[in-house]
Structure 1
Amino acid sequence: MALSGKNIRQLRSLAHHLNPIIHIGKSDITDSLVKETEAALEARELIKCAVQDGSTLETREAANLLANSTGAEVVQVIGHRFALYRESSRDDIERIVLS
């Protein structure tokens, strides 16, 4: 699902207030990190991630790798943090309504 410019602006404003829940460290992107990210996306749809100093990946590179691994969209990359969005298949969560 490709996001429009309006959708990206809306998601960026929602992601601004989030704290990172996924931290990419010296072991970079592992299978367990991908599973943890998928679970977080299913529960929240929009998450913020952080790349720690020990990682060998650049922030944009980590964002693209994690997005490709989870089927998510990169919403924004700033400094060592980035936001990912993926529509959840769960019915028991409050969904983000894209305009």
Structure 2
Amino acid sequence: MLTGKQKRFLRAKANQLKPIFQVGKVGVNDNMVEQISEALEKRELIKISILQNCMEEKDIVASELVEGSDAELVQIIGNNIVLYKESRENKHIQLP
């Protein structure tokens, strides 16, 4: 579980990130969750964009992604979700 200070730190880091995944009409599927897990292992912090044609609510999409990838939800802002998961092998981010 992330503290408020850690979330603030990660939000500041995520500010300049571009979304690397998009959730569209189909919503969240197993393949997407697997790819997001792999990306989190490499990058630790990623931004995911929810497209206008997505049928599910963004809160539901975020909870499915967090549950499937075993990551921490940093923030939902607009149509973007920021996820963090500490990497086992590629540690880049030192949390305060």
Q: TM-score higher than 0.5 here?
A: yes
1:39-83 superposed Cα distances (whole Å, 9 cap, x missing partner): 110010000001111211122221111011110011010111010
Distance, in Å, in 1 between the alignment partners of 2:23 and 2:4 is 27
Find out whether 1:5 has 2:1 as its counterpart.
Answer: no
Distance, in Å, in 1 between the alignment partners of 2:2 and 2:14 is 15
Find out whether 1:85 has 2:84 as its counterpart.
Answer: yes
Indicate the residue corresponding to 1:97 in structure 2.
94
Structure 1, unmatched stretches of 5+, are none
Shift of 1:89: 1.1
Tell me if the contact between 1:7 and 1:98 (Cα under 8 Å) persists in the aligned partners. Answer: yes
Letter of the aligned partner of 1:98 in structure 2? L
Alignment of 1:53-92 (within 5 A): 53-90=52-89
Structure 2, unmatched stretches of 5+, are none
C-alpha RMSD over aligned residues: 0.9
Shift of 1:22: 1.1
Q: Which runs of 4+ in 1 moved over 6 A?
A: none
Letter of the aligned partner of 1:67 in structure 2? V
> How many aligned residue pairs are there?
96
Tell me if the contact between 1:48 and 1:83 (Cα under 8 Å) persists in the aligned partners. Answer: yes
TM-score by length of 2: 0.95
* Percent identical residues: 39
TM-score by length of 1: 0.93
Distance, in Å, in 2 between the alignment partners of 1:78 and 1:61 is 14
Tell me if the contact between 2:44 and 2:91 (Cα under 8 Å) persists in the aligned partners. Answer: no
